[in-house]
Every structure is written in structure tokens, then in C-alpha cells.
Structure 1
Amino acid sequence: MPQDGDSGGDIFGPIKRKLIETKQKWARDGRLLTGETASPAKRKLPPGQREVKNWPVLDLGSHPVVTQKEWKLSVTGLVENPVSWDWATLMAQPVFEDTSDMHCVTAWSRFDNRWEGVSARHLLSVVKPKPEAKFVILKCYDGYATNIPLSAFDDADVLLATKWEGKAITREHGGPVRLILPKLYLWKSAKWLRDIRFVDRDAPGFWEVRGYHNNGDPWKEERYG
């Protein structure tokens, strides 16, 4: 039976099971852990990370084809105003631009990424989460899911990104729309975003039930839980 964040058949068909088994072994073995600490206030990398200039492609082996015409985002759960946005509606929202770093659990980091899209705080102002909402569940067009506290989503640098470095985010990197959560490891920044649900109880997602940390703060080196 699929677990929370595990869509079962629709995700295991197109992906390579070996990839999942390998990353689960990383979690069991504690691969890449350094035991170091670092201060995010200083211009240096989180512990165990190396800087790259490119943007490596890492995913579950499946790149869903989602055109701007077909794309839709559902925002539901414990909110006063549930919404369903198509591409035109998304484009009608205030444009948000931000520059932030990104850190992948596979030990690479890239500084100063220029993003454009719609801020999470703007979305929150539209849907108005209820007081009992404490967590956000993110689901994607490839069947992937991940979970974050509402407090992590409600941050000044979080956005629904449509552009990177001035160009539309490509399919391989999660376009047309992906979430960007700069303060957490990149697996939390869900690609091919299609559903945001506000809930009162946490529900670990795809990697979280396979040995990865439930939070994923790179400065605390929360790779595995």
C-alpha cells in the first residue's frame, strides 16, 4: 500500500528502482555526512558541500511533459480561499524576483541564482491559511511529494519559480513551475508543481519515508533522519 507522499504505480513505472535503492542506502550509511558546522551568516558553503557553476540535473528519472497550456495548480486544505490557477492566472499575479543559493543533498551548491515567479507570501495572502494549518504538502506532476512546515513556506525568499537566470525554467529542472525553498536542501523544492495542500498534521513525502530527514536544513546537515 502506498505511504503518504508515495503515489505507488504512477511513479514507479517510469523511474529506475535502482536510483531509489541507492539513495536509501545513502541514508542508511550516512553518506556525505561530515560532522562539521558552519554559520550561514558567513559567505561559505554548508558542511559537506562543494560549489558548482552549472546546475546538475537530479530527479527520479522521469521528466513529465507539462506545457504552460496544460499546467494547473490546485491550492486546497485548511485555507479560507482554495484556488485553482492556470498559467494565465499565475502570470496575472505580482512578479517576484529574488537571488538565493541552492544546496542539494548530493553535496553540490550553487551561489546567487536569480529567480522570478510568484512569492509564497503572496499566495498565502490570497488563500489565507486557517489557524490550525501547520504543514504544507507539495505534490507534483510526476507523482513526487514532499512536506514542509508552514513556517518554512511562509518566508521572504520562497517562491513559485517560473524563471531562472532570466529564462523559463526548463522541463528537466521542473518547469514550467517549481517551488524554490532556498533555506532547505533542494529535494524540498518540488519540481513540476501541481498541488499545494495545507494540513494540521505532517505527512512525510517520497524521500522522507525512505530515510531522508524530515526537515532538511543544509546548515545543520540534516541529510538523513
Structure 2
Amino acid sequence: MTQQATRELRPDGKLRLPPGQHLTTGWPVLHYGSVPRIDLDSWRFHVWGLVEEEKSFTWEQFAALRKTTEFNDIHCVTTWSKYDNTWEGVPFSALLEQINLKPEAKYAMLHSYGGYTTNVPLADLMREQVMFATRHDGEELSKEHGWPLRMVIPHLYFWKSAKWIGGIQFLDRDKPGFWETYGYHIYGDPWREERYS
């Protein structure tokens, strides 16, 4: 990458490349534990916690939700960034259309197949470009990158974009997920270098 590419500005005036990051043209595979075995026939997406009624979606039901395409950059806490990603999938707002949150719901815990969890404020999930992705750059997600469904929250470090996501628990207070209990930052803003607590 050119030095010019590392000095580009975003529309909000912030540097496009967060501090401490370097650009990659690849897409490194990083996760804790092994890739879970998932069968779409038995796959379910569960929503529970501070909702008026718990819900469970089959793959067919979830895949039938409103779709979107988003284009953005991603930033990993391990210091790599990847520009110009195209994602296809279900926007978080489409899930919200299917559930009724209780007023006290302010946070969410994302739950993945394989046991991984990560916490995200509800306000961040409601931001533009946040989605449940099924495709990346025109291809179905690989198993190593979260097939069949992964979260994409591009404004936070990418450990918040849980792979193999299978549910969301809505909460009234923030609680640490898997990596957060091991010293990762509770929020994870790349432009503030919120890598670790």
C-alpha cells in the first residue's frame, strides 16, 4: 500500500487507517478454538433477554429477512486493517423489525456457535452498516470466516464482529464477553486504540 493510502481521510475527517494499524490485502484467519460444525437444517438464531417475546429463526426464516449490501473497511485488534470490503446479508435493523425490545434494553451479548460471546451496546448495533453477513466480496463466507452467518460491526475492532453467530441476548447493563474477560477492552474503538483494558 502507498503512504497516500494510509493518510486518507474518512468523511467524518478521521484518518481512514486507525492509529497502530497496517494495511493488508489478504484476510487473516484468527479465532479462538476450532471452527464449529454447523448444519443449516438444525441451525437456529435465538433472540432472548429483554424482549417482549423470545424468538427463534430457522435458516430459511432468517435468510428471508430484508437484505442489504454494505461497503466498508475492517480493523483487527492484532493491528491489521483491510480496506474496501463488500458485504451482503441482513441489516441489524431488519432483525429489530421482527422483535419488540423492552425499554430497558441497552446492551447486547452476541452468542456464537462454539461458545464465543462478545458484548456490544445496542446503540452501536443500530448504526448504519451493521449487519449479519452471509457473503464477502461476492463470495459465500468461508467456514473459517464465519459461515453461514457473521456479525459485521465495522466501526469497532473486528473481534466484536462475531463469527458463526447464532443468537443475541438483550441486557440492561454492559457485561464482558469472552475476550473482554481476558483483558480486551470492553468497547473496542480502533480510532482510540481501545485494544485492552
Same fold (TM over 0.5): yes
The one-letter amino acid paired with 2:156 is L
Q: Which residue of 2 aligns with 1:169?
A: 141
Q: Which residue of 1 aligns with 2:5?
A: none
Any runs of at least 4 consecutive aligned residues in structure 1 with deviations exceeding 3 A, and if so which? Answer: none
CA contact (8 A) 1:103 1:109 kept: yes
RMSD: 1.5
Q: Which residue of 2 aligns with 1:218?
A: 190
Provide the TM-score with structure 1 as the length reference: 0.80
Report deviation, 1:82.
2.6
Q: Which residue of 2 aligns with 1:72?
A: 44
Corresponding position: 1:58 with 2:30: yes
Q: Which residue of 2 aligns with 1:153?
A: 125
Separation in 1 of the partners of 2:166 and 2:63? Answer: 15
Alignment of 1:35-184 (within 5 A): 41-42=13-14, 44-184=16-156
The one-letter amino acid paired with 1:143 is G
CA contact (8 A) 1:141 1:194 kept: yes
Separation in 1 of the partners of 2:176 and 2:142? Answer: 27
The one-letter amino acid paired with 1:188 is K
Alignment of 1:199-210 (within 5 A): 199-210=171-182
Separation in 2 of the partners of 1:105 and 1:202? Answer: 20
Identity %: 47
**Which structure's relative contact order is higher, taking Cα pairs within 8 Å and 6+ residues apart?**
1
| Structure 2 unaligned residues grouped into runs of 5+ | 1-8
CA contact (8 A) 1:67 1:176 kept: no
Separation in 2 of the partners of 1:117 and 1:83? Answer: 19
Report deviation, 1:76.
1.1
1:178-214 deviation line (CA, Å, top 9, x unaligned): 1000000000001111120101122101110111100
Three-state SS of the structure 2 residue aligned to 1:126 is coil
Provide the TM-score with structure 2 as the length reference: 0.91
